[in-house]
Amino acid sequence: MASKTSRDVLGRGLGVLRQAIREQPRIFVVAVVGSVLFGSMVIVSAYVVGAVVGDVVVPAIGRGEVATGTLALAAAALFGISVLRVVGIFGRRLGAGYMQYRLQAAYRRRVTRRYLDLPLSWHHRNATGTLLSNANSDVEAAWYPIAPLPFAVGTLVMLVGAIVSLFVTDWALALVGLAVFPALFALNVVYSRRMAPRQARAQRLRAEVSGIAHESFDGALVVKTMGREAQETARFAGRAGELRDALISVGRLRGVFDPLLETLPSLGTLAVLVVGAYRLRQGAVSVTELVSVAFLFTVLAFPVRAIGWVLAELPRSVAGWDRLRRVLDATGEMPYGQRVLDAATSGPATLAFADVHFSYPPAEEHQPGAQVLGEVGFTVPAGRTVALVGPTGAGKSTIASLAVRLVDPDSGAVALDGVDVRELTAASLAGTVALVAQVPFVFDDTVRANIALDRPGIDDEAVWAALRLAEADGFVSALPDGLDTMVGERGTSLSGGQRQRLTLARALAGRPRLLVLDDATSAVDPRVEAAILAGLRSSAAEPGVPAASILVVAYRRATIALADEVIYVEQGRVVARGTHTELLATVPGYADLVTAYEQAEVDRAQERPYEDEVAPLPSGLEIEVDR
Residue 459 has pLDDT above 70, yes or no: yes
**Residue 66: how many CA atoms within 13 Å on its side-chain side?**
9
**pTM of the entire structure?**
0.65
Mean predicted confidence (pLDDT) in 103-124:
84
Please state, for a pLDDT cut of 70, what percent of the chain lies above it. Answer: 81
pLDDT attached to residue 31: 92
**Integer CA distances (angstroms), 122 to 117, 148, 203, 319, 360, in order:** 10, 36, 22, 21, 10
How do residues 220-255 score in pLDDT, each as one tens digit? Answer: 666 666 677 787 788 888 888 888 888 888 888 878
Residue 580 has pLDDT above 80, yes or no: yes
How do residues 414-453 score in pLDDT, each as one tens digit? Answer: 999 889 999 998 888 888 898 888 788 888 888 888 888 8
Backbone angles phi, psi at 351, to 5 degrees: -110, 130
Residue 103 has pLDDT above 90, yes or no: yes
- Per-residue DSSP letters for 444-507? SSBHHHHHHTT-TT--HHHHHHHHHHTT-HHHHHHSTTGGG-B--GGGTTS-HHHHHHHHHHHH
How do residues 128-169 score in pLDDT, each as one tens digit? Answer: 767 877 888 888 888 988 988 888 888 888 777 777 877 887
pLDDT attached to residue 353: 93
Backbone angles phi, psi at 444, to 5 degrees: -80, 75
Please state, for a pLDDT cut of 90, what percent of the chain lies above it. Answer: 11
pLDDT attached to residue 623: 34
How do residues 18-49 score in pLDDT, each as one tens digit? Answer: 999 999 999 999 999 998 898 888 878 877 77
pLDDT attached to residue 609: 52
- Helices then strands, counting H and E runs in the chain, come out as 22, 10
Cβ contacts of residue 485 below 8 Å, gap of 6+?
446, 447, 476, 479, 493
How do residues 324-356 score in pLDDT, each as one tens digit? Answer: 888 888 876 778 888 888 755 568 889 999 999
How do residues 559-570 score in pLDDT, each as one tens digit? Answer: 787 788 999 999
pLDDT attached to residue 538: 61
Q: What angle do CA 192, 194, 200 make, to 5 degrees?
A: 85
As a whole number, the mean pLDDT across the chain is: 79
- Measured CA to CA, the distance from residue 71 to residue 242 in angstroms comes to 60
